[in-house]
Homo-oligomer: A and B are copies of this chain.
């Protein structure tokens, strides 16, 4: 009810954004519930609807609100995925620049090679078991390219889960999402599926034998091969 004026910030919307995000974080607006209607916020903060809408839009771009058209914005405590999706639009521009896809994929190689090394050194019994069953799912799907794609993704996803760091699975989802436009237009051949499966086996063996070097080598070989396939399909112009 109090005027938020005199908050000495160039833009009124900014102070509203601060107050709202604070109320969200403090739980005053609990997760999953819709925000009060714009007209209520308007009188609560003593501002016009213009400013309310600006603030709401800003918060939704930050991932603290989920705004569907014609609906009340839903309060969302942001997770690591929200951070990733905040970059999405920018990234999509960057991927159109020459070299953008390769730069992104190279970071994936970097990260994933570090992951398999760490897995080879620290993977627990259940991690290994999960990898093993993912491998079997791979093997069972070599002839069904659509399904193989899913099991392929699942195998790599496991690598990102082993360190128990919630940033990493989010990062994997990001890679999958951003590289999907290239990947999904590639031809899916059973031979390639089989080669990928065998590459996965090699990675798994490296982890199983607690041999970081072997695991990393296998993974780099696997991803380099994938990149070559991309280049063959799109003609290097990335």
How many copies of this chain does the complex contain? 2
Contact of B64 with A93 in the complex, beta carbons under 8 Å: yes
Interface status of A83 (Cβ within 8 A of chain B): yes
A residues 86-115 touching B (CB-CB < 8 Å): 86-87, 89-91, 93-94, 96, 103-104, 106-107, 110-111, 113-115
A86 surroundings in chain B (CB, below 8 A): 86-87, 89-90
Interface status of A145 (Cβ within 8 A of chain B): no
Interface status of A118 (Cβ within 8 A of chain B): yes
Number of chain A interface residues as a range: 35 or more
A interface residues (Cβ-Cβ under 8 A, vs B): 10-11, 21, 25, 50, 53-54, 57-58, 61-64, 69-70, 78-80, 82-84, 86-87, 89-91, 93-94, 96, 103-104, 106-107, 110-111, 113-115, 117-118, 163, 165-168, 171
Interface contacts beyond A57-B57, A64-B90, A78-B94: sample of 8 additional A-B pairs, CB < 8 Å, sorted by A: A21-B93, A54-B54, A83-B90, A83-B94, A103-B165, A103-B166, A110-B114, A113-B114
